[in-house]
Chains A and B, each alone.
Chain A
Amino acid sequence: MSAVLSVENLVLRYPARGLFAPRPDPALRGISLNLGPGETLGLVGESGSGKSSLLRAILGLIPYESGSIRILGEDWRQLSAAGLRRARQGVGVVAQNPFLSLSPRLTVAEILAEPLLARGDRAGPALNGQCAALLSRCGLPPDFLNRRARALSGGQAQRVAIARALALGPRLLILDEPTSALDVSVQAQILNLLADLKAEMGLSMLFVTHNLKVVAHVADRLSVMRRGEIIETGLATDLILAPRESYTRDLLGFGLRKPKALA
């Protein structure tokens, strides 16, 4: 089966800050990763590790120096404007803070309708029904359609953000710290929801976070990033039991329920 997302030897360097400033070191130093259909890849790293740069490059928001990124087999840099518009429908994105990513002026119905209307769907009862279906799939009753984002709790708002990301039927869901702004009990609800969606829809997920323990639970495979490189990658269940890198051990060895191998 072909990969949903494949990144090969990606090098990304931000431009120098001034005319005579030295060329900065690359933010990504040859990243390679693969994500298969229905697979969840957890990408773990601290601030400055290059997670966000990698995400932005994958989404085509910043140019990269060398290497390649293919999403559902396509290199977005080769696509026409119309082709890119279509290709982007295959990727849904959920950001960390739902209150920043949802417009406070719009109702939930308007938020969910926006991607559908942008695709060219007609407004009407069919579209409203689709919005209600998206919402219920994410565990919220239809009476939430008339609420505004600021009237939602953090967990409810994140469910709306996930529903919006699913609106155009993506094959790949990119999750950027989707539970970091949430309480523990709400985080559990969202992680359960993501597991359900993955099982029902066969979605591939790229789950980016600084919290190894959270992503280790939901991911099939894990990659640990540090200073622009992937320093360790493997099956989540293996990596947690026997991390090779001392940095990974540091991440796992903090707090409650330390893995037995580290105790």
Chain B
Amino acid sequence: MLEIANLSVTLPSRRGPLHVLRRIDLSMAKGQIHGLIGESGCGKTMTAMALLGLLPEGAVVAADRFRFDGDEVAGRVKTLRGRRIALISQDPAAALNPVLTIGRQMDDVIRSHHALPRPERQAKAVDILAATGLPDPQNLLRRYPHQLSGGMQQRVVIAQALATGADFLIADEPTTALDVTVGAQVLRLLRDLVASRGLTVLMITHDMDVVAETCDRATVLYAGISVEEGPVGALLDHPRHPYTQALLAALPDAAPHGARLAAVEGSIPPPTETLPGCAFAARCPHATAACAAPPPLRNAGGQSWSCHLELP
């Protein structure tokens, strides 16, 4: 469904070029939920923006391969966005217009994608809202976003994404603004929609719990580089890249109660830096002199990762 190889994005700035994405490889099969994991500044959202054609002006994009559903993305980004690809953003309250009713906002989306008379558009809106598990969708059309809870607002945003007819959803931290139990329900809905409608979802998150609950496979990003990829079970149980290992070890439930957590010291290299070798070497507990050279790509058990270390 999606094939990205060696994607880089460079933004111009007064301080020189910013390497916001350095080397992204991402390959997704139809009907899967693929997690894009990483901490702030690692390039998760930038990857989504590249896919949506919403990169800032002056961005230089290069890739060995950048294909969506078999065709080159370059040059037809605008026909993909909103027709094939839709975005579900982090804060549903910000994604919805506070002064328009839900009915009007649903209709705006439906009208721009389907030439239908008004009653049929309304029936379609009700159908789609019902499909996202919202109770009494007829009545909902007359409501304003502030009258809905956060979980309901996010369901409306998902309904809007479905109304475009898109079959590829980018969910950018879709539950971060929601309570844990409400977020769990929204994720269950996304999983159900993937199963019933054959959607494909790119799930951008920093939350390993979300990855564990919803994703089939996942890619870990660090400093604009995809450092590890694999099926979620293997990735979380046996992380191979030292950064993935560090990320999982830093979780509070990774250590016994009250024990010190394995914090990763240091910080992500700034985007102004060029990184000829391994990007994580400066913070890596296993780093050797070899890490100054580009790390080789390794494969085992369905996982792939780039690291100089041989498996023990």
Contacts and interface: CB of A to CB of B under 8 A. Distances in A.
B257 interface: yes
A75 B40 CA distance: 43
A237 B253 CA distance: 12
B285 to A, nearest CB: 13
Interface string B157-194: 00000000000000000000001111010000000000
Contacts of A254: 180-181, 184, 209, 213
B250 A210 contact: no
B258 to A, nearest CB: 7
Given A46-B179, A183-B206, A216-B252, A256 B212 contact: yes
Nearest to B214: A255
B253 A217 contact: yes
Given A46-B180, A183-B40, A213-B252, A195 B213 contact: no
B261 interface: yes
Interface stretch (A91-99, A112-120, A185-193): A185-193
A143 B211 CA distance: 39
A200 interface: no
Interface string B211-227: 11100000000000000
B13 interface: no
A123 interface: no
A189 B249 CA distance: 12
B252 A250 contact: no
A188 B180 CA distance: 20
Interface stretch (B60-68, B100-108, B262-270): B262-270
B246 interface: yes
Given A254-B184, A256-B236, A217 B257 contact: yes
A51 to B, nearest CB: 12
Given A183-B39, A184-B251, A251-B180, A192 B209 contact: no
Contacts of B258: 195, 217-218
Contact of A192 (B247, B257, B260): B260
A217 B260 CA distance: 10
Task: State which size class the interface on A falls in.
Answer: 20 to 34
A188 B261 contact: yes
Interface in B221-247: 236, 246-247
Given A217-B258, A251-B180, A185 B39 contact: yes
Contacts of A192: 260-261, 263
B252 A214 contact: yes
A154 to B, nearest CB: 8
A153 interface: yes
Contacts of B267: 153
Contacts of A17: none
A47 interface: yes
Nearest to B40: A183
A250 B182 CA distance: 10
A184 B250 CA distance: 7
A172 interface: no
A250 B184 contact: yes
B208 A188 contact: no
B211 to A, nearest CB: 8
A183 B279 CA distance: 18
B26 to A, nearest CB: 21
A65 B258 CA distance: 37
Interface in A178-227: 183-189, 191-192, 195, 210-214, 216-218
Nearest to A196: B260
Interface in A85-142: none
A28 interface: no
A255 B213 contact: yes
Interface of B: 39-40, 150, 179-182, 184, 206-213, 236, 246-247, 250-255, 257-258, 260-265, 267
Interface of A: 46-47, 153-154, 183-189, 191-192, 195, 210-214, 216-218, 236-237, 240, 247, 250-251, 254-257
The 9 closest A-B pairs by CB, nearest first: A255-B209, A217-B252, A46-B179, A188-B263, A188-B261, A188-B250, A183-B39, A185-B264, A189-B263
14 contacts: A183-B40, A184-B39, A184-B206, A185-B246, A188-B261, A188-B264, A192-B263, A195-B258, A217-B261, A218-B258, A236-B257, A250-B184, A251-B180, A256-B211
Given A47-B150, A188-B252, 4 more contacts: A183-B40, A186-B263, A214-B252, A257-B251
